[in-house]
Amino acid sequence: MKKLTNKQIDKTYKNTYLIILTLTIYAFIIIFKVPYFKLYGVDINNLDIIEKQIGTITYLIFATSVSLSFFIKHMKDTITELKKYTNSFIIGISTIFIYMLEPFLKLVILILEKININDLTKTSKTIYLILFEIMIISIITLINNKKLKEDFKKFKKNWKKYFETYLPYYILSLVIMIISNIIINKLTGSIAGNEQSIQESLIKYPLYIFIQAAFIAPFIEEMVFRQSIRNIITDNTTFIIISGLIFGGLHVIGNIHSIFDILYIIPYGTPGIVFAYILTKTDNIFVPISIHFIHNFLLVTLQIILLTI
């Protein structure tokens, strides 16, 4: 029997590690299917046939494409590079996990303190929700501490160049978003369900929604839907498409009342695709965070103005 060389042993070890890592990625994504939908108050079993099929098929395509693209992308990597990716993957999954636990943790804290949320005043609810969001931001920051420190230093030094280069991309996405929204509104005869929910929430909790949407959401959403997914998906094209589809889909799922409502993925997904593209080009999460802040601030301010007219 021919004895294996050290090179062959190393190659076998590396390939085995790659296969296990690929299957682990697929398993993690599949496990997160239910909490992924539950996070947005959607029970996939209670959706109608069209919504359920779209949600399930989209998710399976996502899981399979991410796993296969990872395997193909890293076939020529060394074991050291694969282990480095493993650390990146763990950070990304941990961030997503904290984000998905957010609704549960929000209630657990109140239960432990024996507080009935219905007994709280609007002011108390607003203060609690803002403090809770700050806590989530702190945890996500700790998990991604090294990357955030490096990116912030680069952003402070090059922010003018970043804005000059990538603001035009955002403006283009905003134009596409506005035009597609107008066209879809004409087809459906109503505004997007997500937009309607924001308007209703603004009326009830204007201060919280403004702070959450304009200041908190840009950081949390970019860390979860961009940086964390980037930690998992290293292929640029796959990352941009998946990040944009997830970002757009989460704003649409649960608000589909006709086949035309699915088209709202276009206006909501377009900024997500642009933010993902910007991250691939800059490798600096503070660039999409800052542009996302401008985007949300403008839209929420406009919503407030329209509601007060």
- The answer to whether residues 293 and 214 touch, using CB atoms and an 8 Å cutoff, is yes
Residue 285, pLDDT score: 97
What's phi and psi for 47, nearest 5 deg? -75, 160
Q: How would you class 30 by CB atoms within 10 Å of its CB: exposed for 0-12, middle for 13-18, buried for 19 or more?
A: middle
The top-scoring range by mean pLDDT among 172-181, 191-200, 287-296 is: 287-296
Smallest CA-to-CA distance from 227 within 238, 243, 214 is with 243
Query: Residue 121: which pLDDT band, with cuts at 50, 70 and 90?
Result: confident
Token representation of residue 159? 């922010």
12-19 average pLDDT score: 86
Report the pLDDT value the prediction gives residue 194, as an integer from 0 to 100: 58
pLDDT over 70 (residue 230): yes
DSSP of 108-153 = HHHHHTT--GGGS-HHHHHHHHHHHHHHHHHHHHHHTHHHHHHHHH
Query: Which pLDDT does position 122 carry in this prediction?
Result: 84
Provide mean pLDDT across the span 48-74: 77
Res 258: pLDDT:
61
User: Could you tell me which of 165, 212, 194 has the C-alpha nearest to residue 265?
Assistant: 194
The pLDDT assigned to 141 comes to 97
Q: Among the residues of the chain, which ranges form H helices?
A: 6-31, 33-38, 49-73, 79-112, 122-143, 145-188, 193-204, 206-211, 217-222, 229-232, 236-250, 265-282, 286-308
**What is the per-residue pLDDT for 221?**
93
Per-residue pLDDT at 144:
97
Instruction: Give the pLDDT band of residue 208 (cuts 50, 70, 90).
Output: confident
Residue 233 phi, psi dihedral angles, 5° rounding: -105, 115
Q: Exposed (0-12), middle (13-18) or buried (19+): which is 269, by Cβ within 10 Å?
A: buried
Tell me the whole-structure pTM to 2 decimals. 0.82
List the domain boundaries for the chain: 6-308
Instruction: Tell me the pLDDT of the chain averaged across its residues.
Output: 84
Instruction: Quote the pLDDT of residue 117.
Output: 74
141-150, 190-199, 290-299, range with the lowest pLDDT: 190-199
**pLDDT at residue 227, as a whole number:** 96
- Per DSSP, the three-state class of 194 is helix
